[in-house]
Chains A and B, each alone.
Chain A
Amino acid sequence: MATQVISRPTKRPKKSLSARWADTWFQMKKNKSAYFFMAPFTIIFFTFTVLPVLAGIFLSFTYFNVLQPPRWIGWSNYSLLFLEDDVFLKAVRNTMVYAVVTGPVSFFLQLFLAWLINSLRYRVGFTLAFYAPSVTSGLAMGMIWRVFFATDMYGYLNYALIRLGVIYEPIAWLEDVDTMMPIVIIVSLWMSMSVGFLTFLAALQNMDPELYEAGKVDGVRTRFQEFWYITLPCMKPQLLFGSIMAVVRSFEVSSVATALTGLPSPMYATHTIVSHMQDYAFIRFEMGYASAISVVLFVTMFGLSRILFRLLRS
């Protein structure tokens, strides 16, 4: 959108290594103020991210229960994790379901609602309504949803359904293995109208009206055509950002799942990789095993971030 001229470097003559170093050094000196701006981020990144990551990798090869010093046990945490831990496999499956379902669905929901309310007069009011749930505390809302889905007669949903005659006896929504997962997904979708939604709305608001005029002249007749041929191509960066946000947030589903169904959830029905790690680290105090889980998660995310970096750099 921004008509910023990017001058592509023409083929440079090859320089010797020392010349290139000298060049880099010159650039560094010329832009030395940049390092001042970067310093806070970089310093703390190395102390509070790199150091913990390295420590985590080390701990994943040990048995460590906080009270005794860690004992080196080699690869056995990993072999246990991949070969014998059925719950972990279930957690991986659940995490993938969340990522595949809540990610895309929340993305399209955000885009759709942003597009719908974009041209309305009461846009601000609707924005408030859709955005409000994500401003609220997840814990408090989890408690409200728990009352809503409560098992007994007074649980709102049970009560309503019984009165309508759909069911005859209350359903244990949050203890039943079949209903737990969909409920967690619905609640996290409900809370997902967040940064991505606002980004889409901002992008739609900043669209150049002349483009629509031009499109009309050129034969755009329906709203849908306008959306497909003009709006979407212009929104590419925002769409990319929104999709990244959706994927990142789908890994936060575990906190919704914990708020609704408790930490080891019944039959591990809503267990995710993150909650598996949480379970081993802070309930069973097997820090070594928990570190192995987080290393696996970490490696996955590292791969994901490399892909996203390629996409975002442009």
Chain B
Amino acid sequence: MTSQVPTEVMPDGGTRRLSAILGSQSLALLLVLFVLVAFFSLMRPDAFPRIANILNMATDASILLVLAVGGTYVILTGGIDLSINGVLVFSGVIAAQAMVWTGGDNPPTLLVGLVFAMLAGAAWGAVNGFLIAKARIPALIVTLGTMGMSLGSALLITRGIDISDVPDSLVVGIGSGRLMGVPVLVIVTAVIVIAGGLVLAYTRFGRYTYAVGSSPEACRRASINVAGHLLKVYLLAGVLSGVAGYLSLARFATTTLSGHTTDNLQVIAGIVIGGTSLFGGSGGMFGTVVGIIIPVVLLNGFVVLGLPPFWQQVAVGAVLIGAVYFDQLRRRLRDR
């Protein structure tokens, strides 16, 4: 007796790699971005499509993108990290303080700042990860708590007054520095985004991130350490928030204690617009990049057109809801 198992043609595996990076929704989203860019360029060809303006937009998106790389991993596991803006500010304060204590205005001082920023971020990430993965407290609650704790700690340390004693070489070299015409902030961000995207698409760490968000039980059956992986993912988000805090310090030459209050929500909105599901397991880095860039383009476009920039918040809200609606439609079609 021969087996009557379904026989259909199997397509060659070459398309797998591409679809791992892109996704069906990402392509539709890319189209939205193109339409927006085309629209603003047609309306103000003298202002919007200029190199200077594009680099401005890239710089505006850079710090959010660094946060969004970690946020994408977190949301893919089915979690959420609301604490990233608090951790960003806290890490910036620690870095600034460390550089003040170290003194000097030279590369070693800047390195001390970076290391302290990353350590501060890692510490909060470890707290988040431990409470979520080991103590099994919902991520929403844990990170809401640590958001307040990290921001409050930053205010305690500084007594509520911004530290503006930031080394000039940090501000000039990284914050507003350029390498062959491209802002250093943009280059650093690009490196982080590309590395984060490659790890997500092509390594076991990335695969387990999807797997944990998809079915923790399947992971346990496959001998994957689910709690350990969650811990690492929140640690990564913390470290990247630390890096973002350092970049913010470089860009604004101050700790901007009250300047990042909605960063977490902007980042989550961008990730979700980019097609990463809040239920975990599906999405990707390419979508996140587009999802973060669309609100930035909208804001810039409205300003260039002379419209009240407050329209951006309205538009982004609508795009967010629309994106989730289409995601659900797509899922319903897929699952039939």
Tell whether A and B belong to one assembly. no
Interface residues of B (CB under 8 A from A): none
Interface residues of A (CB under 8 A from B): none
